Chain A
């Protein structure tokens, strides 16, 4: 049934350093800077995209940075295939390290038959479909409490369940026995990347004339692609890790090369790949900073041509829930009711967020908005009075 694969090889040095750098970036951001790292998850962009297009709002704890980083990763897949997975994804890195660690202590990887491998790979689409169906239907990341990656980046957030650690443990245990089981069979982001990766520009090519058919390239491939049987690796799950290129014993001319299509069969270096990936991810991060779209939008009516808007810095406008509360306060129906409120756009942030309120200047004024936001209110749901958590200051 299963065959034993060769021992997991150490990752080539440039890629190992890149993986280490990305993982360190995540860990420093999460544990030292106590940051909100979930906004940099590309799959968050997939989960939030539909709701954002439909309503202008993102699920709880996501931000527009998710959309930018998703854009960067998709663009990277069009050029470099799934290079993000093999160089930047923390789950991929940890899974790979576990596999290498297991090999060091004598555990040998199992290689599943190709047919079974292909069948298991379809689970990615099932995972993706289930996640997107429920997320898009409810508008919330309802599986977050079961997500081992979220357990890490939220520093064991309050909604994390024990199942997140069970799933995490299963991924790690599986990675010790089989090469990258999560990345190959279960990762929902991989399912999103497949069509882009399939037509990806840069590919691994094998020169059948210089190749000695030693089979090392197949043996070292962490995605278990039979590189030795391909002349060009079209497989969508190629992660452009370039381990096959590094391991090929035939040099000058190289039997295995990586690069764009063309007659020049010179292999592009791993450093070039890393630089390109870095530029694309950097551009996504920069884009998120330069074009900060609101992650929550709420409208009450069409804005007339002479509508006015006020931009406020609002304390405690920390999250989506608070943005919903802010919208409720602008729609309050009591002494501080404001008639001309039209539209609210929110940029939540720790401690102090930003809100832009569009209103009809003939029916209300900026002072009325401030009062509506900051005055106490009666909460009919709990039959009690509550103080507004918000304070405001002009930008």
Chain B
């Protein structure tokens, strides 16, 4: 049992990036924009953080924190492409998201080749340092993000308007809400959060960025949004569950009772659980009604 308790910091380390990215996905989907680019945006954030950190590490002790901010900025900038395409120009949201995912893998490795002359960033000396109890600060960042997103979505007029744009954009517009502007902000927020999530991942779980660093974490976050039924508490719970499954797939060899299982068992769990719950709860539709549908002004 103590083995399992020893795993808590590792589990939280895996959960934090997934939860932060899933919060981004939640904000975007509640405004009516599906963001399957989370995976790519996390990659862009991870690459930016790894690069900034490795370059500034010798100069300043604050480079980890500068890297986090830079990654959020990079995610925000990259998501503006998705916002421009899918909100302003009414592009198909899934296609533009797919394009960003392709661009992210190519772009980050391309830039690594230019900056570091290899297919990955240089490894950094030290990543983020764990705090008391061996828990990384990323866990606390995730808690803050969760509380802020929950508060903003459900306790502020801003969140109320944002959710209206995702349920019935025409009604929201007739109530005086600028649907396009709201969706733009939501997509940018999701980009910044996904970028931050990528940074949290690369600075705690590994020592450099490669094209395998994110490895599906963004898609797990996307699954957490669905499985969490588009509410902050639900998405947080789903992220906790999926993050634990990912951690178990890596550390299960240390636990006697689980060693007999194939390692793929826990890797597959997040995806299988999501699929099964989508089927089981198919009768009731929890998704925002207008998610994925471009908003046409004035019905023209």
A pairs with B: no
B contact residues vs A (CB 8 Å cutoff): none
A contact residues vs B (CB 8 Å cutoff): none
